[in-house]
Structure 1
Amino acid sequence: MEELRGGYRLLFWVVSVLCGVDLLCMASTWLPGAYTVPQWLVRGLFLSVFPAFAVAFVCGFISGAAAQLTGSRNAGRLRSYVRLLPRALQLAYAGVICLVALGFATGAGTAEDAKADASGYYYTYWDKTADPQHSVRVELTEPAYYEALKADLRISGATSAVLLASSSFLVLASASASAGRIRTAPELL
């Protein structure tokens, strides 16, 4: 895509690399045994979503891409824009969508807020059926603890991956909208 220049190109590649690393971390949760990727990396990738999405969002409004691709009257524009993307990007976005859906599907059933302390592995939940309501501690085995931890990290990774992929798509749309506006501006004079 030749309209992807300057800051747009840099932002697109930064967000795309973050998304790729996030997907690799999420995929590592499917490996057997204990979790191998450091939790600080997954948490850092999750926190990187916020500035990346904010910058992509601002670029979308400044370039006019947000107005062109959103709204009920513009649904056809969004589909046609996706069809105009190079085949490699279409496949990459489809792969991200499939991995994220698989991550949510496999992590949602077993994701508990698992904790470990000197007394063992556990998670707590709020028992609303008891009178008075109180917190209940459920003991876990070590393998169940690691499975719950991996499921929690899988959900976190899937959430940040979908937001990073959306950010990269918004950067592409912003670059296209800006390139179209720059090309037509001299014609107006």
Structure 2
Amino acid sequence: MRELTDSYRVHFGLVLVLCGVDLLCMASTWLPGEGIVPKRLVVGLFVSSFPVFAVALIRSFTSGAAAQLMGRGNADRLFRYALLLPPTLKLAYAFIICLAVLGFATGAGTAEDAQADASGYYYTYWDKTAHPQHSARVELTESEYYEALKSQLRIFCAAPAMVHALGSFFVLASASAAAGRTLTAPECSYGSAERPRWS
């Protein structure tokens, strides 16, 4: 993709690498056993998604991509631009979206705030049916505790994966817009895609 030059190439590569690490961490939560990815890594990836996405969004506004692809009446342009991405990128984005949705779906139902202390494994919730209302404790077995932790981490990995994927799309669109003030489809390394120009 020839549009990805200099800082755009670095930014695009960085965002995709972070997205890949997100997906690997999320996939590890489906493995059997008690092993889980370090919480610090997951938190670091989650926090990193905000500045990386913010920079990508700012670039889309400064390059003119946002004006051409977002806002009223531009949904068709955004759709057409996405369709003209190289096949490899389209497959990669589809894979990321499907895997992240699967992560949300399998993690949402069992992602209690599991905790462990000297008394055992448990999670707490606010019991609104009691009078007076109070915090209630639910005991967990060791296997339930680790499953709850994995579900929690799965969601915290799926969310930044989606954000990083969207950020990479904005970087790509920004690079295309910066290459010429009229947005074009990105060129593939093996040849040029059809390059429609939208005024």
TM above 0.5, one fold?
yes
Percent identity at matched positions? Answer: 68
Residue 130 of structure 1, CA deviation: 1.4
Deviations 1:127-172 (CA, angstroms, capped at 9, x unpaired)? 1111211111111110000000000000010001000000000100
Residue 182 of structure 1, CA deviation: 8.7
Residue 63 of structure 1, CA deviation: 0.8
SS at match of 2:123: strand
Aligned residue type for 2:4: L
| CA distance in structure 1 between the aligned counterparts of 2:52 and 2:175, rounded to whole angstroms | 15
Aligned residue type for 2:139: E
Aligned residue type for 2:124: T
1:186 aligned residue: none
Question: 1:103-122, aligned counterparts within 5 Å?
Answer: 103-122=103-122
| CA distance in structure 2 between the aligned counterparts of 1:77 and 1:15, rounded to whole angstroms | 24
Aligned residue type for 1:114: A
| CA distance in structure 2 between the aligned counterparts of 1:130 and 1:75, rounded to whole angstroms | 49
Whether the 8 Å CA contact 2:64–2:181 is kept in 1: the answer is: no
| Runs of 5+ unmatched residues, structure 1 | 184-189
SS at match of 2:129: coil
| CA distance in structure 1 between the aligned counterparts of 2:124 and 2:36, rounded to whole angstroms | 25
TM-score with structure 1 setting the length:
0.94
Aligned residue type for 1:60: S
SS at match of 1:109: coil
| CA distance in structure 2 between the aligned counterparts of 1:142 and 1:46, rounded to whole angstroms | 26
SS at match of 2:181: helix
1:91 aligned residue: 91
Residue 58 of structure 1, CA deviation: 0.8
2:197 aligned residue: none
Tell me the C-alpha RMSD between the 2 structures. 1.3
Task: Write out the 4+ residue segments of structure 1 that deviate beyond 4 Å after TM superposition.
Answer: none
| CA distance in structure 2 between the aligned counterparts of 1:92 and 1:160, rounded to whole angstroms | 16
Deviations 1:104-141 (CA, angstroms, capped at 9, x unpaired)? 11001101011111111111111111121111111111
Aligned residue type for 2:13: W
| CA distance in structure 2 between the aligned counterparts of 1:104 and 1:93, rounded to whole angstroms | 16
The alignment of Structure 1 onto Structure 2 pairs a total of residues equal to 183
Deviations 1:26-63 (CA, angstroms, capped at 9, x unpaired)? 00000011133212111111111011011111111111
| Runs of 5+ unmatched residues, structure 2 | 184-199
SS at match of 1:181: coil
Q: As a proportion of its length, which structure holds more helix?
A: 1
2:147 aligned residue: 147
